[in-house]
Amino acid sequence: VLSARLRSDPGADVVLAGRRVEGLAGAIGLDVTDRLAVDAAIARVQPDLVFHAAGSFSGDFDADLAVNAWSSRHLLDAMLAH
């Protein structure tokens, strides 16, 4: 709902990123658990604002930790760097 609302604003330049964005105009495929990929995406897009809505509740502690915690750290580090 949030992405649809933002993308409908003619004054907003919205780039969606995620694992399941194939076929969406202006979207980029991104694994938020990949620190280098996140850094490269932030460097390329140079966003002013990021909404981090990735989340995992699979029951696999390591996988959930990577998506729910480490991906946030990757985004913060990339935003500070760029």
Contacts of 27 (CB under 8 A, 6+ apart): 15, 16, 17, 18, 21
pTM given for the model = 0.83
What does the pLDDT look like over 13-48, one tens digit per residue? Answer: 888 888 888 888 888 989 999 999 999 999 999 999
Contacts of 78 (CB under 8 A, 6+ apart): 38, 39, 41, 42, 43
Q: Measured between alpha carbons, how far is 48 from 50 in angstroms, rounded to an integer?
A: 7
Q: Mean pLDDT in the chain?
A: 91
Which one is predicted more confidently, 69 or 7? 69
Contacts of 65 (CB under 8 A, 6+ apart): none
Average pLDDT over residues 39-61: 93
29 strand-pairing partners: 18
